[in-house]
Amino acid sequence: MKRIIGNDLARLMSYVTKTKNCWLTPAKPGDRFMFWFRGRLDMGHRVSYILHRREIPAGLEVCHTCDTPSCVNPEHLFLGTHLENMQDGQRKGRINQGSKHGMAVLTETQVIYIIRHGKRGESTKILAAKFGISERTIRRIKNRRGWKHMRAS
């Protein structure tokens, strides 16, 4: 087993460019480096964690302290649940929410309007027609299932 790990580690490191802090792999900005490992493609940072540290327990993800997706420096990698990874990203401003999200149709002002008018009893159907979105989306906003980060007093 050691020889296989050694070969895989040498092969992974052959793609790495070490900078002052990060070990960068050839991926487009914001993308992940994919690496052929154990008979399938896996993300480079996951492979690096396995080769430098240990196996990844079920239910955990490999997260970055440096927030550089193409970095495979094991000193920058830690384990966390999906929720912890998402919370870390939100704290660091990496996750686009609201109108900054690429698929957003509404603005924050429109969402506040929907929340306030929904509380006043305006019908889901009327709100959906007013903003050109589905009634399901209106219900999700009114029931605090969508746009959870928004507060409307």
Query: Does residue 147 sit within a domain?
Result: no
Mark whether 103 and 86 lie in a shared domain: no
Report residue 118's pLDDT band, with 50, 70 and 90 as the boundaries.
confident
pLDDT at residue 12, as a whole number: 95
Q: How many domains does the chain have?
A: 2
Residues with Cβ within 8 Å of residue 12, at least 6 apart in sequence: 35, 44, 47, 48, 51, 72
76 and 137 housed in the same domain: no
Domain annotation covers residue 110: yes
Domain assignment of residue 60, yes or no: yes
Percent of the chain with pLDDT over 90: 55
Host domain of residue 14: 2-91
- pLDDT, residue 1, reads 36
Answer yes or no: do 87 and 108 share one domain: no
Q: What percent of the chain has pLDDT over 70?
A: 85
Residue-wise pLDDT tens digits, 21-79: 999 999 877 678 999 999 999 999 999 999 999 999 999 999 999 988 899 999 999 99
Q: Tell me if the pTM is above 0.85.
A: no
- How many CB atoms are closer than 10 A to CB 141? 26
d(CA 90, CA 93): 5
Q: How far apart are the first and last CA of the chain?
A: 60
**C-beta neighbour count of 6 within 10 angstroms:** 11
**Together in a domain, 116 and 84:** no
